[in-house]
Amino acid sequence: MKKQQFDSLESRIMICKEYAALWQRFFRYFSESLADKQITQQMESEFEQVLGVLAINQYKFEELVGEHMPDARKIVNVLTDAVSLATIKTMQEAHLNKLQLEWHELFISMNKALGKLSNQLTPKMIAAMQARDGAGE
């Protein structure tokens, strides 16, 4: 990873927002009970793809949020507990509840960190980001 590529605050925020959005998508796989669901190979593949991207980008995310999210390393704990949909489906209810709670606590921390990063933006930076976001719609 080339550090200068992520030097701008706007870039850091954009990458962190994308990671938080993927983290939210990841939760959808185990927020509802899988007990009565037939897990297909396609579902498992989609889950593995999301899990893989989160795992690959975890260190970059941790570096970009820096001191604003000191518990970012705990993301790995959740990822290693949820290695597949089949694993999640067979988890004890207490373990699944613990996993969901850990996910939720990390999601809150991510959003707090994003808020702290966003508070560092100047009005000019905000206007530029909004113009860029509006141009992509």
- The CATH number given to whatever domain includes residue 32 is 1.20.120
Residue 88 lies in domain: 7-135
**17, part of any domain:** yes
What band does 121 get if pLDDT is binned at 50, 70 and 90?
A: confident
8 A C-beta contact, residue 36 and residue 19 = no
**75, part of any domain:** yes
pLDDT reading at 34 higher than 90? no
**2, part of any domain:** no
**131, part of any domain:** yes
77-100 pLDDT tens trace: 999 999 999 999 999 999 999 999
pLDDT reading at 4 higher than 60? no
**45, part of any domain:** yes
What band does 69 get if pLDDT is binned at 50, 70 and 90?
A: very high
**62, part of any domain:** yes
Percent of the chain with pLDDT over 90: 66
Note the helical H segments in the chain: 9-31, 41-65, 75-81, 85-89, 93-118, 123-135
What band does 135 get if pLDDT is binned at 50, 70 and 90?
A: low
Q: How many domains does the chain fold into?
A: 1
Sign of CA dihedral 79, 81, 86, 88: negative
User: Which residue reads 């597949």 in tokens?
Assistant: 84
**86, part of any domain:** yes
The pLDDT score that the predictor gives to residue 110 is 97
**1, part of any domain:** no
